Chains A and B, each alone.
Chain A
């Protein structure tokens, strides 16, 4: 594999909460054009890993690099502006704002200009078209004027992705984007992910194993905060350790 395609690289990332080691020396690479799935049982440290990569939680040890630059000490906001976008497992939107405003505010992060106090944000020539574009791509073009709090669960998950895309990220850290979705919504989301894969490096934390094995190019299996295996889907499926620790219990 060429190192050129690596956008985000985590090296020996560790996170301790008191005596508990939630993430234990995890290393992984996210390449443009690939979906890298992270799977594991509940409490395996997947969400904590996403939080560390996005800068929401500081790492206790190890380093994170973006395009070769060490970003371990960068704030979450700075990482987001540099191209690291994330979605949340529990939907975190702005429920009282319209769908369009949710997306527009996310797009505004790349065009903040807070000193222009006289300029109407809803006429912003940068953030409004960007918001309409991502809302359409996520399948929300018909509900732009609805308050986001009135959307169905599946639509909220789509909005979550749309807001993540609105910041024009190169790296997508998606925390269970399929959680609670129906079959049809799942198909639409997988189609969107397949489309996004071409120009993004995607980390996907997901419990839906069928979906993971369909879309992932690489899978990292975590157990108790540590990496048990990291390989292609076929190799992971055949890995006896993984079968014993994780997949075996389902088959």
Chain B
């Protein structure tokens, strides 16, 4: 019991430390660093949304990019030309678009299981990709620009102007904190415990009196809304959307992030997103790798394979693995 309390406290401390570091980061770096970390925090939000499906509920979804990209497109398409949209309605609408596509995808894909489920979610995401890519609706391969970024104002007082990089950084940071806190509470709630029960033993959940399908569908919709939030932030940050936001590469990258960080932990999703970004920057760096830097995907791939082989429970499990190796005490399997 005592050890559990200490562990609990060290988890909270690590989350607080991480939060402080992100809050103070803009003081320590220039515009490149601010932009990179803002982008990584957005990926962390998508990773958290996927963690709700994969880690909490046991549903391996390979279509997260669809919610992300469609919400990004919605943000750009619904902004008035030449004037700033109001954040108050544009953000909820973009999230609703992500949630709506998740409802559609979930309602049909949740009737399948295992590998079929993974493939069906991928198929739905590819469907959205080709609609955006090949129809006049999405503006084709070149994508579309968002000329004036949305603002939040009460009356004539401007509260948040997302055109300013620092305002955007702290807005993204606030969103990440809110999503993390929301999912932490959700995980402890009756809803979250029911999702955990579905992950561990769905047959028993049904025998106990839970209609598991609506639970899984609700998890999908919540996940889609959160991924939609991230898509909105991404579109506003870059002022630009293109079909790549919906591509399966992104779905795969987010899946790799949570595997890298450690499935089953919210912190794992955030750590995984940062580790992924760090590895990417590292292998892309020409000062380190010279001409080989253009083959950065190869380096990234090898690093991920090595990491997963050495740390099967992800970076989050690295600490306990290390202490148990060093002290030679047997590891307790949960």
Contacts and interface: CB of A to CB of B under 8 A. Distances in A.
Interface of A: 54, 56, 75-78, 80-81, 86, 88, 92-97, 101, 104-106, 108-122, 124, 127, 145, 147, 163, 166-167
Given A105-B193, A112-B190, A118 B185 contact: yes
Interface string B205-221: 11111111001001000
Contacts of A109: 208-210
A95 B211 contact: no
A147 B196 CA distance: 15
Q: Is the interface of B mostly helix, strand, loop or mixed?
A: helix
A177 to B, nearest CB: 15
B190 A167 contact: no
Contacts of A145: 1
B261 interface: no
Interface string B44-63: 00000000000000000000
Nearest to B332: A147
B192 interface: yes
Contacts of A114: 189-191, 194, 215, 218
Residue from A54, A86, A97, A121 whose CB has the most chain B CB atoms within 10 Å: A121
Interface residues of B, number: 28
A80 B204 CA distance: 11
Q: Is the interface of A mostly helix, strand, loop or mixed?
A: loop
A93 B204 contact: yes
A49 B191 CA distance: 32
* Across the A-B interface, the 4 shortest Cβ-Cβ residue pairs: A80-B209, A109-B209, A114-B191, A81-B209
Nearest to B201: A94
Contacts of B212: 77
Contacts of A76: 206-207
B69 interface: no
Contacts of A118: 185, 189
A54 B188 CA distance: 30
A93 B200 CA distance: 9
B211 A92 contact: no
Contact of A105 (B186, B194, B211): B194
